[in-house]
Amino acid sequence: AGEAAAEGAHIGAFTAGAPGLDYPCYGDDGGEDAAAMGYDENGMALGAEGYYYDGQEVAFDFPDEETFLTPQLWSATAEPAPGLEAESVEAGAPPGLDGTVAGLRVEGRRMLWDVCTGLADPRVSLMAVPKGECLESPPFWIAGTELRLAFYPVGTALSGDTDCSAELLCEDKAKLKFELFMNGRSGGRKVLLGKRFSCDFRKPVSLTSPDADAECAVAVGVQVHENLLYAGFF
């Protein structure tokens, strides 16, 4: 009976290794093992590697939540992104982070994609895209997640005739609180549980203007407010 009780207490201590938990926990019994471990310079208990969810390991590379939620840009010449081994990146994809990627720019905690960048005749090119089809931005990195933005000039299959659509795409399934923008206009705060989420917006005037000389200006943006997989981490 004594062995069964000890085993039960040990299992309780290991529940902190389950996905989604935020920090090491050694049970409620304040056992001698926990007291004897001590702590390293990061506040992690020595010898506690098996007690925390290693899917959150990437967060240790960021000093605070503000930095964690600030967008970073991919670059073929920069160092690999935090928590991402270079060999794990798909062939042909840029493996690192840098401050300059054509069409993408960071403003505070917001990533903006200038959709018209690189298009010879942006208005004609965009309006020629069939309904339900999109253009995608280069990849970028926010809150431990590889993301892209997509723009549907004529909207998704369910969009109205006067609408276009913006979409957030995740490389892997994610749980994010975020906000999409179209030329500075917010689509409201949303929650992504999966790999993609789209919002409809009224088509920008620059796409529908009869003035052929008018500048085509389409900027799709995203701001991530929280990665729910890291809730309570910082």
| Rounded CA Rg of the chain | 23
Predicted pLDDT at 209: 75
15: left (phi over 0), alpha (psi -120 to 50) or beta: alpha
Predicted pLDDT at 120: 81
21 pLDDT more than 80: no
Q: Distance between CA 175 and CA 56 in Å, rounded? A: 13
C-alpha torsion sign, points 148, 117, 120, 76: negative
Query: Cβ neighbours of residue 163 under 8 Å, at least 6 residues apart?
Result: 155, 200, 201, 202, 203
Predicted pLDDT at 175: 95
Predicted pLDDT at 20: 37
Q: What is the DSSP letter of 58?
A: G
pLDDT band at 205 (very low <50, low <70, confident <90, very high): confident
0.75 exceeded by pTM: no
Higher pLDDT, 96 or 100: 100
Higher pLDDT, 209 or 39: 209
Average pLDDT, the chain: 73
Selection from 4-8, 34-38, 143-147 with the highest mean pLDDT: 143-147
pLDDT mean over 27-34: 39
Q: Distance between CA 9 and CA 31 in Å, rounded? A: 9
Q: Distance between CA 117 and CA 36 in Å, rounded? A: 58
